[in-house]
Structure 1
Amino acid sequence: MKRKARSFSSGKWAGKVRTLLPLLAGLLLCGFALAAAGRRVATVEKDILRQANPVEVVVASIPIPAGDAFSVRNLAKRGIPSSGTGHRNVPASDFELLVGARSKTAIDPGEPVLWTDVEEPFDTDAFSKTVLPGRRAMTLGVDATSSFAGLLHPGDRVDLLVERSGANPGDWIRDIPVIAVDRDHNRLARPSDKEETATVTLMVSPGEGSRIARSLGKVHWFLRNPIDNAFVARSSPAKPKTLHVVEVWKGGVMVLPIPAAKEFPG
């Protein structure tokens, strides 16, 4: 009887285990599914946070009618999700560039200001008037070396050494004023402090511009003090010479006088 009771009990437990096995397998699969879903949700959350990372752009603080001038009174800076911005948005770092320009279209309060909303070119007239008569503005592409690591600003003066092809010697073009660096042509109001400078605009004579444009080699830039060699010291003029007469006497008789050159005493 005891042996029969044990076999009955062991058979009952074996049946329970067989019944629980599908349940345990289902729990394991559910755990794996939940873990995979958690990882997926975390990835989606990171992507949403990345897209929602706020970027500061220029917006209208009050209604701006078409043709109205932009100013600190009607402009403001506001952070919006990066997913809602594009290359047409005016970044907050270029806020001062809009001041003085005019709106091409009406802009409602809170709406971002786009570059396409700005009358172009809004500063060409003012910039062109900085070019002196008989001079021309010439823009050159530069890198970190030729822009002196971003330390070159409007109002500086530079010398250029233009390399020639072959064995021809380099051509020096000296004392050239810098009138713009990228879009900035005002030394006192630099709207943005960019890490790299892309272009520099020089004010050259037509002859200087032609010599630079004909260069087939590299252009070396040299920064100079704006007051260095403000005037070129001219060499002292040669002292005037005058003629005086040397009398020659022979045996008490004066022969013909011989003119001789002598420097004027100074």
Structure 2
Amino acid sequence: MKHIASHYKVLIWIGVCLVCGVLAAWAGQRYLHQQSDLLAQKNKQPMIERVVAAHFLAAGTVLTETHLATRAFPLSAVPTNSISVSQYQRLLGGTLRAEVAAGDMVLPLHISQTQVAAFSTRLVAGRRAVTMPVDQINSLAGLLRAGDLVDLYVSFDHQRRKITAPLLQGVLVLATDEHTSDMPSQEAGHYATVTFDLAPEDGAKLVAARQTGSITAMLRNPHDAQLSNKGVRGDLATLLGVNQPSAEFKTVPIIYGNKTSRQVRGVDAIPNAPRSAVLDVETPEQLSYQYEVQHALVD
């Protein structure tokens, strides 16, 4: 019995040793893995995505979205002037100065941006651009947009009467503030200035008119080529027919001895018709924008 008991003790000790060995091996392996992970984390470099060439790009290529892709680079290897994914629009429309291999970063120094033409190049030879602040012109409550045609009327005092007459007709609107007709996102709204396309003499008339009178813009249909020579005079009551003057009659002089002659209405006197508030004024023979079109064809 003692022999069997000692045999079981040996087996138990062998089992305990095996378990301890396995635990020691597992703990050692786990420790080694932890140290390896710590070492890898310590040596691992942070990565960052940058814009690269999607494929080989030859010199002179005008960049579009199809030419660009993204790729991760170690942070320490990224140039300071590299383009991030959120800034890729800076490259669009640029022309490559030199070829770029597929996967290489596209940097600002690789491209030359197309220079925007000066605003003056929009003018036909012999034309002038005149800018007016909206506080000196009725801006149609912000409805004007570049490319519209307007008639400009001037209101002023003449011989103690209010006169409103057409100044320029069919004037092309070049811009509202900095918004021009080639901006697809342009929307009607608030703006501070309006720029017109005019002949030099018309520009001088507009400058002179805004110094002593008030300017009002009337929106014109772009297909309307009719000219109007109608102006008005008098105050608002006269225009509406409320303040009609007393009728005037033809009179004849009568002399009484050596006394001053008196004007007496004749028997057959007919009252003179009151003057109409509407009057005809001289106008140009053609619209302002038509002059521009003809001038462009001649050139």
For this structure pair, what is the TM-score category when the shorter chain's length is used for normalisation?
0.3 to 0.5
Whichever structure has more strand as a proportion of its residues is 2
- Return the TM-score normalized by structure 2: 0.35
Say which one has the larger Rg. Answer: 2
- Return the TM-score normalized by structure 1: 0.39
